[in-house]
Structure 1
Amino acid sequence: MDAVGTSTDLIRDFADIDAGMLAAVGGKAANLGELTAAGLPVPPGFCVTTEAYRRVAEAAGMDDLLAGHVEAVKARELLLAAPMPDDVRDALLAQYARLGEDVPVAVRSSATAEDLPFASFAGQQDTYLNVVGPDAVIDAVRRCWASLWTDRAVAYRDSNGIDHHVVRLAVVVQEMVQSAVAGVLFTANPVTGRRREAVIDASPGLGEAVVSGAVNPDHFVVDTETGAILERRLGDKRLVIRSLPGGGTEQVEHAQDGACLTDEQVGHLAELGSRVEAHYGAPQDTEWALDAEGVLWLTQARPITTLFPLPADATADDPRVYFCFSVAQGLERPITPSGMAAFRLLSSGMSDLFGFPVAHRVDGARPFREAGQRLFVDATTFLRSKPGQVIAPRVLDVMEARSAVVLRGLFDDPRFSVLHPSWRPFLRRFLKVAARYRVPLRVVQAVRSPASAHRRMERIAADQAALLSIPDSASAAERLDHCEVVLGERSIQVLPLIAPMALPGFALLGLAGKVLGKRLEPGDLQAVLRGLPHNVTTEMDLELWHLASAIRADEESSKAISGTLARDLAVRYRDGRLPAVAQTGLAEFMAKWGHRAVAEIDLGLPRWSDDPTHLLGVLANYLRLDDPKLAPDAQFARGAAEAEAAIDRLARRAGRVRGRFVRFALGRARLLAGLREMPKYYLVVALGHVREQLGLVGAELAAKGVLDAADDVYFLDFGDVRDAVEGKDFRAVVADRRESYDRELRRRRVPRVLLSDGTEPEAVASQNVVVGPGAVIGTPASAGSVTGVARVVLDPVGAHLEPGEILVAPSTDPGWTPLFLTAGGLVMEMGGANSHGAVVAREYGIPAVVGVADAVTRITTGQRITVDGALGTVTVVDQD
């Protein structure tokens, strides 16, 4: 038996490789083996397996190095200096000889954490082209091994949460294609997300010029269904990389005016891409080469990791519009399985409310969709109706303005033309609900007597608390039944009881604006909403400030909170070991507000009562604020005084007769608009209660051994939990779901609106937007102008904000608002003029602009920026 025959653990031909061998051959080689087996045109080659790397790394002492801090430079030095075992060397050279005598090859790294569905690792390890001769091949393989420890590869693994200790490297050795033209092909549009749209970049010579970005290539976009070339943009192609005789490559200047591919060749490429995608069942990023004889070759294929996943039933043949409810609620992060299960029940309750009963509540209402572990709503039917086109964007204008713009942009798309022009069905259902819950009467009562509305709100709160009670002796099954009733029925039924007390405030605000007409100036109505009373979130924040003031006044408590890490304070609080003032004050605050949290609409995430670390960090931040003028209660009082002054000013501006109505309307708006937070607040109360009940069930399941820990229950849906109660083991399922959830946490781009063919309409529209240098535009949210240092915060937990800094965030919810108290201004990627962050910013009197596209990437911490909350502009002044 020859050397290769006895060394298949060291060397494998492409023909002997399949997708199941990732651990042995790495991502690149596994894909090349798959493509070869599928009969696709792949140049012949082989793989030096991870076993060979393991043996070299072991001899080099890599295990000892990785036991401590990862030193990339030292790791590379060790691998380059380590001797290659004789059997590895012999097997490698024997397989290379089978390709032919001194055949030019490409030597590429193929890591086990590479070309994965969630991380491509493209370009992270090294590639060597036109390698000729045995000694050169051996040297290139060694350098590929060492490239597993380049600084960029280490950083990329860190950012994707991949353990350095478990990564191994294989090496692909593949016959070179001396290409006349080469490049990359995406089988779906990576910018717009649109499937069935191939994107091709091509340039003369080797494809490395395109892959490395060294050349401005020809660019083609092809409709793969029709074969039509939708876009053709010719690059300058001034540089060509080509092979040198005897090995290596050179870069030469090049000039070509015309396209480097004919239309027929573009078509063949698109067809080849479709075959690759069909084989994998998912869009692919491929590299290709066209040799001098016109033969087309595939040299690589990997998943397009940046595409946002589609809902399970999405298909380009049935155009649908999916609206991301998660983003509209300021939640970009994925939702836990229990959180998604809660939303299914809530959607069923909402559907029942409007006369569309759901047979199986746990499955959710018909429009409910999930994609990328985010909540979407199939809005197609609604948008194809006249009421939907009128109502949806106007609601979003004050909730999530950028989504409103995206939806309006679809109105002229013939795929979503109006099919239901009549208002009658909508009005019939709406009026039926309004009559059942006596909405018109409640509206009139609230306008006539805001005090009665507030008393009614207190009665509703008491009733809700009674409905959430359950005996301590309840069984796990009874707790699950109770949770499903709370979410599927009771939580939704309270909404039409509360809404009639909050909506009149905003209606009267709008009417006052109509009466004022041209007399209204930018920011006038926003000023009326400053220091707004009866806002439950503002009350919470002010109570937290008062707690900070009490802690400041107590030397022992102040010293403890200021001088101890928040995570250590959390442990001391749970053990009852904080100084008395801090311990008692925080306990009292938790008794009232402990059900709240960052991203609190996901019941799978901890509440402040579960983990007070964030809250203790905020308290420490408050203690740094020593200017009485910047105290939140003082700012709130000033805002209230400014609002009353604004009402006087606008009433006088309106004239004597109209002024009386303006004064009345704006006064009522102040007394009622603060109640806007109550629907969501009651929902959060219910979610906190359900989380508590599931936690008790989870403790039982962990004790039975079907879960590893009690909080694993939040990675199950209600059906799973019932099966677990019956004894089914879910430990492996939870582990897989946690891993998937952690991957989704790293996703940075979540579309507001997604079409069933994968198109992200906002991405398409943004290609035509021109923004002046240093300036970005959003939606005015809180009037005023401030210039200060930007602080980009992606997660409020543990965030530090110096007094006066401008908070730049992707989105905010009540868990963020304690940071507002020390912020000089606010910039948000999401939200509308009446989104939560905008309302609180107005109440605290800080300028705010929301709906700023890519704010957290276009603005960096330390930049000085000017926020104009009346005009809706954010301008970079200079770099700190």
Structure 2
Amino acid sequence: MERFTNGVPPAASGTAGPPRPGTPDALVLPLASVGGESLARVGGKAVNLGRLAAAGFPVPGGFCLTTEAYRRAAPPELETVARRLDNLGTAGAADRERLARGAREMVGAAAVPEEVDSAVRAAYALLGPGAAVAVRSSATAEDLPFASFAGQQDSFIGVRGPDAVVRAVRACWASLWNDRAVAYRAENGIAHRDAGLAVVVQSLVEARAAGVMFTANPTTGSRSETVVDASAGPGQAVVSGSVNPDHFVLHTATGRLLEFAAGGPGTGAGENGPGTPVLSEARVRELAALGQDAQRLFGAPQDVEWVIDEAHRIWLTQSRAVTTLYPLPEDAADDDAPDGGVPRLYLCATLVQGLTRPLTPAGLALLGQMRNTGGRWRYVNPGLRMYVDLSPMLRSRAGRDAMLRMLPLADGRSAAVFRALLRDPRFARPNGTRGGARPTRQPPAASRHGARRAAGTGSMAALAAGLLPAILRAVARPEAELRRALGYESRLRELLALPEPASPAERLRHAEDLVGRTVDGVVRAALPGPSAGYLMLAAARGLLRGIEDPRRLEAVLRGLPHNVTTEMNLELWAVSAAIGEDAAAREAFARRSPAQLSEDYRAGRLPPAAQARVATFLGRYGDRAVAEIDVGMPRWADQPDHVLGMISNYLRLADPEQSPDRLFAGAADRAEERIRSLVASATARGRLRGRLLEFSLGRVRRLAGLRELPKFYIVEILGEVHRQLAALGAELARSGGVSAPADVFFLDFDEVRVGLRGADLRPLVADRRRLYDVELRRRRIPRLLLADGTDVEAAVLARGHPGSAPPAGGVLAGTAASAGSATGRVRVVNDPVGARLEPGEILVAPSADPGWTPLFMTAGALVMEMGGVISHGAVVAREYGIPAVVGVADATSLLRTGQLVTVDGAAGTITPVPG
């Protein structure tokens, strides 16, 4: 391909002229020289074009009007408007639009300073008399690694004449304050006061064809594919969506065309004449090669706009990072499809646990300690989420069969995606090995210290073998097992206690050692009971085979005793009932927001009846939290807003017959009735069978409710680690090692140790907070992820596999998780903190962990995007006796608050109801 080393088309050569590039007073800079300038001076678009031009890529020539010109033109009142917008944040859309409109009008009406006007006209004159140019916005908050700002500001094509260019420049300035740009900055946490705008003016290439190219597939995330969209004529039609372009997908390494879709009307004639694709395969491969060059230059996948002129030469008119791709696993660079062309496959373990948000670095480090470091599983943490490497399971038929059995229980959607993945030729059959795992690699340095402490837990197989006698003892003597499991809490609290006063070094050592000192004991004390309960449930299912529908056993699990999460929620209901009986307390909860109530509680200002009951509740359950497996998340004891909001929610329940305690007691009664019915059916086939079934179901009722106890104990451990780290964070903030105490949760233990010695950790924390904030805003998390970045579910949908068709008639389908039917108004909740759920409303959520379950108490039914029949939300819904459907793709966006629907928990459907 022909390259132009000066970055300027022959017909549009020339420079912008004085002032000299790089001087502080320079208003205009040659485009080919701005690659080394700062974003604050020339904006993202100009920097990237300058780097391309300096590297020899074919970039149309022109100049950049710097942000200094915008600063001189902006009226002083704009600073006040920007400050008000910053104070609004993401709230107050109407006020934001009003302020943005005022800012646009200010900038649009402001006079262009004489020196700016002269500089623009002089630079434009050097491009040739009456040259046609593109005038394009280049914002300082644009084409960033985490936010592209694609299309947020305005650009103008085909501008001719100096007056028109000056008018276009002013219009670009004003577009910095259009509604979409202002909203985008607010969503991405970018201060409006810091925003500035440069303007790129380039010679216009007369386009024979144009379009966009992604050097990674933006739909599936695959870094091994290049996507090219093309139409005849200017590329603006492709970018704006006014034409349906020809669509090409290539395997980048080989140049093989994987997919082609012809564009619709308006695409134009192809290179080989009417009726042919706009681009030949050879030209698409040429573009792909150029895209790979650009990707290597910038070090990340690129979104490239390109033009082919009448002389068949390719020009690049823009390149920006593709910011929507999910991060690659840490070991992706080591993955050259080692298993006969089969890339590694990862399952998002935290998503299966009902956690959609990222984990703090401290949370990831602590979970790294808890992992079984001597076992066969490897974990990676792309996007601050924990993924488990399933590649060993793919290497044997037994492993695949096990996954096909287990995944539907944990997450129905992941199971469907896994089945579709096995139809891919690369994964069609095992490669002949017997499923032995690749040796586990050395854990990263940040987790080795903790891994040594956790190594005492031994292998999972050895642990399971050690628990077997305890499980059998639990079956034989359930009451003794209950006393042992529940009584372990006092021993655990002794292990968690740190004598005070303690030095920072002692706090760090205590926090760092807790997992190794306690987790093994928790597993041995709390796991045999629920394991025995569910083992007996499996036995009951076998005894009823051929006699009763297995789904009838579901009712046996309702209203289970000894479930610490259920007990917590019923205790919270009791707290609300007591508050409701006190006039002053009831009025306080009716008038104040959860945040105000929380502030009053911490200051000891709640009415006495409320202050005492809430304090007692938090004394028992204050270590819990939303996303509680992340040690970096605030505990309820620290921020009780959620708990206090739930009490307010319960106080609105008017019908005493619908109170959670009565419903729970009724569910328990119905469970006992179901046991009697099932036992009678089994006895009709034989007295021994009936007695065995009665024995098994009795053990289920006594022991299965303990299923929440191991996690509850783990959460108490995390709560103690959280308290010690918070104290260390306060110490680091006092010494200047971090900016705020909560910054400690963006460090691992070794980094905290370095900070206590005086190191400045603020730059490290700032980088990690920036990444965390980006991931916090991410809405789509890959359930199954390939080493090349492919979101397997997205790829399945893009390829149109069976089961990927959109729902018919508005009916949504998922996994039937809890039988029953309920009709009610939808309440979409993405974050339970501060959420209000009217009694009987249908709770629609992305997922659920124990921090969500207080909402279940008054919900009419549950719908979740994540989950399978053994996921946390499904199990709790069954125990509460509310209908539930889980694994419903995009439920939080397809269903809307206030919509009337019927949830059928047996059929696994959500059906819109007119009215």
Same fold (TM over 0.5): yes
State the SS of the aligned residue for 2:388. Answer: strand
State the SS of the aligned residue for 2:855. Answer: helix
**1:523/1:875 CA distance change after superposition, 3 Å:** farther
Measure the CA separation in 2 of the matches of 1:447 and 1:833: 24
**1:344/1:260 CA distance change after superposition, 3 Å:** same
Asked if structure 2 preserves the Cα contact closer than 8 Å seen for 1:522 and 1:871, the reply is: no
State the SS of the aligned residue for 2:719. Answer: helix
What one-letter code is carried by the residue in structure 1 that aligns with 2:702? L
Match in the other structure for 1:341? 365
Report the Cα offset of residue 382 of structure 1: 4.2
- Answer yes or no: is 1:440 the counterpart of 2:440: no
Asked if structure 2 preserves the Cα contact closer than 8 Å seen for 1:3 and 1:90, the reply is: no
**1:724/1:385 CA distance change after superposition, 3 Å:** farther
Deviation per CA, 1:723-745, whole angstroms, max 9, x where unpaired? 01112122332233223322221
Report the Cα offset of residue 516 of structure 1: 2.9
Q: Which runs of 5+ in 1 are unaligned?
A: 242-254, 357-365
- Answer yes or no: is 1:306 the counterpart of 2:328: no
- Spell out the pairing of 1:445-464 with structure 2 (5 A cutoff): 445-464=473-492
Report the Cα offset of residue 659 of structure 1: 3.8
State the SS of the aligned residue for 2:554. Answer: helix
In structure 1, which of residues 740, 762, 777 is the aligned counterpart of residue 793 of structure 2?
762
Measure the CA separation in 1 of the matches of 2:775 and 2:438: 40
**1:422/1:9 CA distance change after superposition, 3 Å:** closer
In structure 2, which of residues 680, 684, 709 is the aligned counterpart of residue 652 of structure 1?
680
In structure 1, which of residues 164, 180, 187 is the aligned counterpart of residue 208 of structure 2?
180
Match in the other structure for 2:92? none
Measure the CA separation in 2 of the matches of 1:273 and 1:714: 39
Tell me the TM-score normalized by structure 1: 0.92
**1:763/1:19 CA distance change after superposition, 3 Å:** farther
- Answer yes or no: is 1:65 the counterpart of 2:106: no
Report the Cα offset of residue 108 of structure 1: 1.1
Measure the CA separation in 1 of the matches of 2:424 and 2:268: 42
Greater displacement, 706-715 / 333-342: 706-715
Measure the CA separation in 2 of the matches of 1:419 and 1:716: 43
Asked if structure 2 preserves the Cα contact closer than 8 Å seen for 1:223 and 1:230, the reply is: yes
Report the Cα offset of residue 234 of structure 1: 0.4
In structure 2, which of residues 504, 507, 513 is the aligned counterpart of residue 485 of structure 1?
513
What one-letter code is carried by the residue in structure 2 that aligns with 1:292? E
- Answer yes or no: is 1:351 the counterpart of 2:373: yes
Report the Cα offset of residue 218 of structure 1: 0.8
- Answer yes or no: is 1:717 the counterpart of 2:748: yes
Measure the CA separation in 2 of the matches of 1:381 and 1:626: 54
Deviation per CA, 1:207-229, whole angstroms, max 9, x where unpaired? 11111111111111001111110
Asked if structure 1 preserves the Cα contact closer than 8 Å seen for 2:558 and 2:671, the reply is: yes
- Answer yes or no: is 1:131 the counterpart of 2:159: yes
Question: How many residues are treated as equivalent by the alignment?
Answer: 849
Report the Cα offset of residue 425 of structure 1: 13
- Answer yes or no: is 1:692 the counterpart of 2:723: yes
Asked if structure 1 preserves the Cα contact closer than 8 Å seen for 2:209 and 2:232, the reply is: yes
Asked if structure 2 preserves the Cα contact closer than 8 Å seen for 1:218 and 1:237, the reply is: no
Asked if structure 2 preserves the Cα contact closer than 8 Å seen for 1:334 and 1:744, the reply is: yes
Measure the CA separation in 2 of the matches of 1:723 and 1:743: 27
Report the Cα offset of residue 663 of structure 1: 3.2
Deviation per CA, 1:669-701, whole angstroms, max 9, x where unpaired? 222221111221111111001111112222222
Measure the CA separation in 2 of the matches of 1:20 and 1:513: 70
Report the Cα offset of residue 257 of structure 1: 3.2
Match in the other structure for 1:361? none
- Answer yes or no: is 1:292 the counterpart of 2:310: yes
- Spell out the pairing of 1:339-738 with structure 2 (5 A cutoff): 339-347=363-371, 350-352=372-374, 354=375, 367-385=378-396, 388-411=399-422, 417=430, 420-421=433-434, 432-435=462-465, 437=466, 439-517=467-545, 519-521=547-549, 523-654=551-682, 655-657=684-686, 658-738=689-769
What one-letter code is carried by the residue in structure 2 that aligns with 1:296? I
Greater displacement, 392-401 / 314-323: 392-401
Greater displacement, 538-547 / 740-749: 740-749
Report the Cα offset of residue 631 of structure 1: 0.5
What one-letter code is carried by the residue in structure 2 that aligns with 1:298? L
**1:738/1:2 CA distance change after superposition, 3 Å:** closer
Deviation per CA, 1:279-332, whole angstroms, max 9, x where unpaired? 112111111111111111111111111100012221351321222122111111
Report the Cα offset of residue 3 of structure 1: 5.0
State the SS of the aligned residue for 1:282. Answer: coil
Measure the CA separation in 1 of the matches of 2:237 and 2:17: 40
Asked if structure 1 preserves the Cα contact closer than 8 Å seen for 2:829 and 2:845, the reply is: yes
Report the Cα offset of residue 85 of structure 1: 0.8
Greater displacement, 414-423 / 73-82: 414-423
Greater displacement, 833-842 / 515-524: 515-524
Measure the CA separation in 2 of the matches of 1:79 and 1:329: 50
- Spell out the pairing of 1:131-210 with structure 2 (5 A cutoff): 131-210=159-238
In structure 1, which of residues 848, 865, 873 is the aligned counterpart of residue 909 of structure 2?
873
State the SS of the aligned residue for 1:221. Answer: strand
Match in the other structure for 2:89? none
State the SS of the aligned residue for 1:550. Answer: helix
Tell me the TM-score normalized by structure 2: 0.89
Measure the CA separation in 1 of the matches of 2:141 and 2:526: 51
Measure the CA separation in 1 of the matches of 2:393 and 2:207: 52
Deviation per CA, 1:826-873, whole angstroms, max 9, x where unpaired? 111111111111111112111111111111111111211221111111
Measure the CA separation in 2 of the matches of 1:268 and 1:838: 52
- Answer yes or no: is 1:37 the counterpart of 2:54: yes
Deviation per CA, 1:238-264, whole angstroms, max 9, x where unpaired? 3679xxxxxxxxxxxxx9533111111
Report the Cα offset of residue 798 of structure 1: 0.7
State the SS of the aligned residue for 1:811. Answer: coil
What one-letter code is carried by the residue in structure 1 that aligns with 2:711? K
**1:122/1:867 CA distance change after superposition, 3 Å:** same
Measure the CA separation in 2 of the matches of 1:640 and 1:810: 28
Report the Cα offset of residue 415 of structure 1: 5.1
Measure the CA separation in 1 of the matches of 2:232 and 2:38: 34
Deviation per CA, 1:379-414, whole angstroms, max 9, x where unpaired? 323443555434445444333333333344444656
What one-letter code is carried by the residue in structure 1 that aligns with 2:53? T
Identity of aligned residues (%): 51
Report the Cα offset of residue 274 of structure 1: 1.2
Measure the CA separation in 2 of the matches of 1:559 and 1:119: 45
**1:787/1:659 CA distance change after superposition, 3 Å:** same
What one-letter code is carried by the residue in structure 2 that aligns with 1:778? G
Q: Which runs of 5+ in 2 are unaligned?
A: 1-15, 86-95, 338-342, 440-457
What one-letter code is carried by the residue in structure 1 that aligns with 2:434? P
**1:67/1:755 CA distance change after superposition, 3 Å:** closer
RMSD (CA atoms)? 2.4
Measure the CA separation in 2 of the matches of 1:118 and 1:568: 34
Asked if structure 2 preserves the Cα contact closer than 8 Å seen for 1:214 and 1:239, the reply is: no
**1:136/1:491 CA distance change after superposition, 3 Å:** same
**1:141/1:101 CA distance change after superposition, 3 Å:** same
Deviation per CA, 1:765-797, whole angstroms, max 9, x where unpaired? 223211323122211111111121111111111
Match in the other structure for 2:10? none
Asked if structure 1 preserves the Cα contact closer than 8 Å seen for 2:541 and 2:550, the reply is: no
Asked if structure 1 preserves the Cα contact closer than 8 Å seen for 2:75 and 2:106, the reply is: no
- Answer yes or no: is 1:49 the counterpart of 2:66: yes
Deviation per CA, 1:536-575, whole angstroms, max 9, x where unpaired? 1000000000000000011111111111121111111111
What one-letter code is carried by the residue in structure 2 that aligns with 1:713? V
Report the Cα offset of residue 488 of structure 1: 3.6
Measure the CA separation in 1 of the matches of 2:462 and 2:616: 43
Measure the CA separation in 2 of the matches of 1:326 and 1:695: 24
State the SS of the aligned residue for 2:527. Answer: helix
Measure the CA separation in 2 of the matches of 1:826 and 1:407: 25
Greater displacement, 821-830 / 450-459: 450-459
Measure the CA separation in 2 of the matches of 1:20 and 1:848: 56
Greater displacement, 286-295 / 724-733: 724-733
Greater displacement, 671-680 / 616-625: 671-680
What one-letter code is carried by the residue in structure 2 that aligns with 1:371? P
State the SS of the aligned residue for 1:788. Answer: strand
